[in-house]
């Protein structure tokens, strides 16, 4: 399941003490959904899994954010960030 993100995990391995990360990873088909049912749920699912994966590779990571694009009007789009805080059992 995490194989599609292995390259990203490998790329950040050398940054041993990274605490906060914002990254633009393409999540095909996940930027579109029906915001009427649950606004943002279609954005969170895969990004959350990717965040778990990156946190498992980067042990000092406290926060990870993923870029996404949203419609800001007719024929206009806006880039935004979806951030996740990482809590580990030993953090308290």
The DSSP call for residue 1 is -
d(CA 54, CA 10): 10
40: left (phi over 0), alpha (psi -120 to 50) or beta: left
Q: What pLDDT, in 10s, does the model give residues 41-79?
A: 666 788 889 999 999 999 999 999 998 877 777 888 888
CB 68 within 8 A of CB 80: yes
SS3 85: strand
pLDDT band (50, 70, 90) for residue 1: low
pLDDT tens digits for range 4-21:
888 888 898 888 899 999
């Amino acid at each position: 399941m995490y194989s599609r993100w292995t390259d990203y995990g490998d790329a950040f391995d050398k940054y041993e003490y990274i605490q906060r990360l914002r990254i633009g990873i393409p999540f095909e088909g996940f930027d579109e959904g029906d915001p009427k049912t649950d606004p943002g749920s279609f954005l969170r699912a895969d990004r959350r899994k990717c965040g778990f994966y990156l946190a498992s590779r980067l042990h000092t990571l406290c926060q990870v954010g993923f870029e996404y694009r949203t419609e800001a009007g007719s024929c206009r789009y806006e880039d935004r960030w979806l951030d996740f805080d990482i809590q580990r059992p030993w953090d308290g």
